[in-house]
Chains A and B, each alone.
Chain A
Amino acid sequence: MKYIRKGGLPQAHCAGCGNGIIAQCTLRAIDELALDMNSMIFVSGIGCSSWIPSPLFNADTLHATHGRAITFATGVKLASPKTHVMVFTGDGDGAGIGGNHLIHAARRNIGLTVILVNNFNYGMTGGQVAPTTPYGAKTSTTPFGNLEQPFDLCKLMEGAGATYIARWTTFQVKPLTTSIKKALQKNGFAFIEVISQCPVQYGRRIGMEDPAKMMQWFKENSVPIQKAKEMSSEELKNRIVVGEFVNVEAPELTEEYQKLFMRLSHGKN
């Protein structure tokens, strides 16, 4: 019970939801790094993925408002820079209402680890179309098919300046766990997009009600970055490019503050 809060079970996700896999990968990553749960602070927004740490994880958990988990997490990290601050968000929470906060946190390179679970819809509220829903997909609010183009969130994060960017699906359990470990050890803003199955609200409407079937679809349509580089955009249509897109070093914001404090305390302006 080191990692699971007393009273945190049973968890509330639907049968077949990918969030359970992501919860496990996260806790295994923390365990393999031997991180102290007393130094972990989990912040989440509103949506199914926000229920991954809250109330399940046995640590300080802050359930914020819809789209704004990253803003709360920024305050936590700035005021308590030695803690590991991890944000759980979804495609609607993080890239819809929360889009602005996502890009600014990446820009300012604040040392947060952000797990964005992309299940291609707003699941908790009944399966409405979201900023990552594929063109043409039928959702509860696009009964004639989605007319909009979705985000490529990893490209968005690259444009925003994130120093660690990765994408995996719930099928790639081991690489996902490895990425989470890297992200937690990263000194900077780390972003991991996890493509996840939502059988009840999304899968059912696009003819993939069976979660195993959707995970099979993830497996068959995942393309590693190296291979994707040699493919045309036509070949990459409806495929999921997975892997580590970016892993660079840049000044982390809480360190910048520490440097400023040092400068000022030595009388230099």
Chain B
Amino acid sequence: MSQPIEPGTYFMQGNEACAEGAIAAGCRYFAFYPITPAGEIAERMAERLPRLGGIYIQMEDEIAALGSVIGAAWTGVKAMTATSGPGFTLMQEHIGHAVMTETPCVIVNVQRAGPSTGIPPVPMQGDVYQARRGSHGEYEIIVLAPYSAQEMFNLAIEAFNLSEEYRTPVILLPDEIVGHMREEVIIPNFSSLKLVERKKPTVPPEECKPFLDENVAPMPSFGTGYHVHVTGSSHDERGFRNVRDPEAIDKVVRRLCAKLRKHVDKITKLETKYMDDADVALLSYGSSARAALYVAKEARAKGYKVGFIRLITLWPFADSAVRKAAQQVRKILVFEDNLGQIVNEVQRAVAASVEVELVSPEVIGTLHRPEYALNRVLQEMR
């Protein structure tokens, strides 16, 4: 069988690269409801999946799109949906269901300016907290923030790998700039990719415990004779409902959270540049990180000791990695296109040891203007 992806160097749109990454990772079910600025992901999937025997379906709303993704995932396939703010809001109940049932799946939210209808083709990094806490109840989730078209490809694969490894929904959280920009994307040979598949049961059905293992329980697929009971209600390790005892939901909540918290150092990723002797660090993610990186380079060229930290994983928040990266700096300036979301986590993580301040663009919904941002940073330098 020929490779599902064509290796090569391409000039590709972020959204298109995201679709290619999903296909490379093995995604063969994609459900969608039209929304700007995620449409190009769907259009690419609609064109590519049928030739690979995969399903593209357009559902009647975003709730249905993610619902069908969860159903498909339980038959053993890798499944994904993509949306933006208003659709992401509609998907929250099903995100909670996927968390509760430990269903691997990927949800792409190409963030746009909100709240509400906002401006569809304009970026904003406004859904950071929502990606972490949009569904009700106590839970953990994995959120990745690509900052380039290449990362839309790479992190789509990473998202599937993490979802399979930890049996959790994973949110890929670019913004409209990253989704719509066109850049060089290198697609490698399919054989060079490291792909993760969910753990399958090794014991007969009567002995199988498909839920609530902090080290990730095996996941039997529908139709393989395991007669698995999947429910969003409080349940035990066998999946059977227990809605009587608070102790049951205590166990559910603790184990589901521990499943990610225990492995936070393996899950979280960040990138640093110019940090060895940095006095001030610029911390950012997604499209804002491109502005932050530009400013850090310019400041260094002028002789200022400015460093750069880029979060690749937004959630779980990489407390100790951020603390470690910033241990020598005096101050962290957080670049984000909102009025302060990740900045609060940075502040919390470094506590009193480092001063943390937010640098929003002058106009929310745009990239930080280079001259403005550089001046702002140089004001901090001694």
* A interface, CB within 8 angstroms of B: 5-7, 37-39, 41, 43, 54-55, 58-65, 68, 71-80, 83, 100-101, 104, 257, 260-261, 264
Max count, chain A CB within 10 A of own CB: residue among B31, B70, B71, B77:
B71
Give Cα A100 to B206, complex, Å: 38
Let me know if A78 and B57 touch, CB within 8 A. yes
Please, which residues of chain A bring their CB within 8 A of the CB of B223? 38-39, 41, 60, 80, 83
Let me know if A74 and B59 touch, CB within 8 A. yes
- Return the CB mask of B211-232 against A: 1 if under 8 Å, else 0: 0000000000011111111111
Give Cα A64 to B93, complex, Å: 11
Can you name the residue of chain A whose Cβ is closest to the Cβ of B228? A60
- Quick one: which of B93, B94, B222, B226 contacts A83, CB cutoff 8 A? B222
Can you name the residue of chain A whose Cβ is closest to the Cβ of B60? A104
CB distance from A72 to the nearest CB of B (A): 4
Let me know if A100 and B222 touch, CB within 8 A. no
Please, which residues of chain A bring their CB within 8 A of the CB of B63? 68, 71
Let me know if B55 and A257 touch, CB within 8 A. yes
Let me know if B226 and A74 touch, CB within 8 A. no
Let me know if A62 and B227 touch, CB within 8 A. no
A-B contact count (CB 8 A): 128
- Quick one: which of B53, B60, B61, B70 contacts A72, CB cutoff 8 A? B70
Give Cα A43 to B53, complex, Å: 25
Let me know if A71 and B68 touch, CB within 8 A. yes
* B72 at the A interface (CB under 8 A): yes
Q: Which 10 A-B pairs have the closest CB atoms?
A: A75-B71, A71-B67, A75-B68, A72-B71, A75-B72, A63-B231, A79-B72, A80-B75, A71-B64, A76-B71
Give Cα A163 to B206, complex, Å: 39
Please, which residues of chain A bring their CB within 8 A of the CB of B224? 38
Please, which residues of chain B bring their CB within 8 A of the CB of A7? 238, 240
* B50 at the A interface (CB under 8 A): yes
- Quick one: which of B65, B75, B206, B232 contacts A79, CB cutoff 8 A? B75
CB distance from A11 to the nearest CB of B (A): 12
CB distance from B63 to the nearest CB of A (A): 6
* B241 at the A interface (CB under 8 A): yes
Can you name the residue of chain B whose Cβ is closest to the Cβ of A73? B71
Let me know if A75 and B79 touch, CB within 8 A. yes
Max count, chain A CB within 10 A of own CB: residue among B53, B67, B206, B238:
B67
CB distance from A108 to the nearest CB of B (A): 9
Give Cα A71 to B306, complex, Å: 51
Please, which residues of chain A bring their CB within 8 A of the CB of B229? 5, 54-55, 61, 63
CB distance from B42 to the nearest CB of A (A): 16
Knowing A64-B67, A80-B75, the reply to whether A264 touches B50 (Cβ < 8 A) is: yes
Let me know if A64 and B222 touch, CB within 8 A. no
Let me know if A79 and B29 touch, CB within 8 A. yes
Give Cα A74 to B79, complex, Å: 13
- Quick one: which of B50, B60, B97, B206 contacts A101, CB cutoff 8 A? B60
Please, which residues of chain B bring their CB within 8 A of the CB of A43? 71
Give Cα A41 to B222, complex, Å: 7
Please, which residues of chain B bring their CB within 8 A of the CB of A73? 71
Give Cα A5 to B72, complex, Å: 23
Let me know if A63 and B233 touch, CB within 8 A. yes
Let me know if A79 and B79 touch, CB within 8 A. yes
* B74 at the A interface (CB under 8 A): yes
Give Cα A146 to B206, complex, Å: 49
